[in-house]
Amino acid sequence: MTNALVLTELERTPFAAGQHFDAAGSYERIAGRVRFAVDATSKAQANIVDLDKAPRDARGRVHFTGDFLVLKPIDMAKGNRRLFFDWANRGNKRCLQFFNDAPASNEPRHWHHAGNGFLMRRGYVIVWLAWQGDLLPGDGRQLLDLPVATDNGRSITGPVRVEFIADQPGITTFPLSGRASTRSHPIASSDPTKATLTRGRYPGDARQIVPASAWCFARVERGGGLDNQGAERAIVPSDTHIHLPAGFETGWIYELVYQGKDPLVLGLGHVAVRDFISFLKYEDQDAAGQANPLRERAAGVEKAYGWGRSQSGRCIRDNRRPCSPEPAMPCWCRPSMPMAMTWAGSAHRWWQHRSPRIQGGICERAISAMVPCTSSAAAPSPCRPAPKNARQQVIRDPQFWSAMQIAKHILSRSVRRLNDLWASG
């Protein structure tokens, strides 16, 4: 049995109002969704954690769906036969901003979204595909809808660890993921005594336990009041939020370890990218008989390049460390920008675990639900080892981050300048 994919909900329109990009001519925009069907028993994806626990159809295949977007020359024969894949960073399309000096946009449609036209004038096919399965809808983010792993239909539970850092006073509620844009692992129990909330000023500090009576799993809802009472608020029980009525102290590191449930099979993000790029490069049609839009007029592409920065740089590095004889990605994947490695973080294979936090911080690794996890005020959690040197202290220093932002800005400006020089010949 082989994997299969089908392109659906296709929207095909001119890009940049038909503007010509030198010899490459005009570009078009092809957007839609890809339906994947993956053989759960195949060696090609044997290293995907919990794939054996995902729902299957009658043929033993696991199904999932993701958003995609392609910008390509209308006449592929005028292009350079090179595919440029942008690993969307936290669901956001970034390559046009960094290579074309274009304004940030998750819906590139108009002429200003092409920026200086750097990639288009050189005839690249630009491709995006959702790979991060724990993102929530909003702001045009690319979404990958993944199956939930179960134990023969029963919920899988296990420890989940998350950090919260309030950047301003008055914050009393966080999603359990720590980010509004990211899916939280739901709690298995609403009893706070079955979870542990601690806090510390710095990563190496002894953890101070926050009493279970001082917080709860809940969210705050606000709205107009009645009886001339003004605005009202309600504390609503939630399986995906934490509420601390006294507020999270600004700058302090709060660590929550709780029993979560219903992990997604997030490793399928690797499979999605592999299969989609392979389809665009090699196949004439999808499983439903629809033509591959890149192989019209027998043009096609000869080479595929991958680029990512920050979190998507970590994803590329995750792809490059296979844990089975047959890697999860073909060898064409390479970080093609210094930032992809500079900002790639410290973790290897940081999301090939059960219940990982893909949106974690630079020095934070995901935990596995198969590893027991405890925490106390006297000893750091084994899910987050005590720092071995001062480096982890430094990364919480605001002055360090100011310097890093300046360095990032200078590097970004340098890349744009190089693009301009290249474009001017």
- What pLDDT does residue 423 have? 61
- What pLDDT does residue 394 have? 36
- What pLDDT does residue 408 have? 56
DSSP for 49-92, please give it: TTGGGS---TTSEEEEEEEEEEEEESSGGGS-SEEEEE--BTTB
- What pLDDT does residue 152 have? 92
In order of 74, 250, 286, 299, 405, the CA distances from 295 in angstroms are: 12, 54, 12, 5, 42
Q: H or E segment at 259?
A: strand 253-261
- What pLDDT does residue 215 have? 98
Distance CA 305, CA 312 (A): 14
Which stretches in the chain have pLDDT values below 70? Answer: 1, 227-228, 319-425
- What pLDDT does residue 336 have? 40
End-to-end CA distance of the chain: 50
What are phi and psi for residue 111, nearest 5 degrees?
-60, -35
- What pLDDT does residue 391 have? 37
- What pLDDT does residue 232 have? 87
- What pLDDT does residue 158 have? 92
Count helices and strands (H / E) in the chain: 7, 17
pLDDT averaged over every residue in the chain: 81
- What pLDDT does residue 371 have? 27
pLDDT, tens digit, 9 for 90 and up, residues 337-366: 333 333 334 344 445 666 665 554 332 333
What are phi and psi for residue 25, nearest 5 degrees?
75, -155
Whether the CA torsion 18, 89, 307, 130 is positive or negative: it is: negative
Distance CA 19, CA 21 (A): 7
* DSSP type of residue 132: -
